[in-house]
Amino acid sequence: MPAPKRPTAAQLQAQCDAWNAANPSGTLVSYESIKGQGETGRYRTNGEAEVLSGHSAVIWLLGKSGCVALDHCTPVQEAQA
């Protein structure tokens, strides 16, 4: 079975652009350290999504060391006060 094809740099940039247009810095996200295994925690984004070294769409989260894969984050609707 062949390995899955990796997204191109243009596809990754389009993913980041779409995320950034819909989710400003400070957005609350549900983060899964292992995708598909359930929520690991909730964090606020710190900055915009970006393409890391041409191979991964990533985002920075407050309280997490280093960046995380954008695919592992889902925006969370916050309750109105």
Instruction: Name the 3-class secondary structure at 12.
Output: helix
Is 2 a domain residue? Answer: no
pLDDT of residue 80: 52
Contact at 8 Å (CB) between 35 and 68?
no
Scanning the structure block, which residue is given the tokens 């243009």? 10
Give the distance, in angstroms, between the CA of residue 5 and the centroid of all CA atoms in the same chain.
19
Q: What is the pTM for the complete model shown?
A: 0.84
Token readout for 9 is: 């740099």
Instruction: Name the 3-class secondary structure at 4.
Output: coil
Give the distance, in angstroms, between the CA of residue 64 and the centroid of all CA atoms in the same chain.
13
Q: How many domains in the chain?
A: 1
* Enclosing domain of residue 13: 9-75
Q: Could you list the mean pLDDT of each consecutive 10-residue stretch along the chain, which spans 81 residues?
A: 85 97 97 84 96 95 95 85 44
pLDDT of residue 19: 98
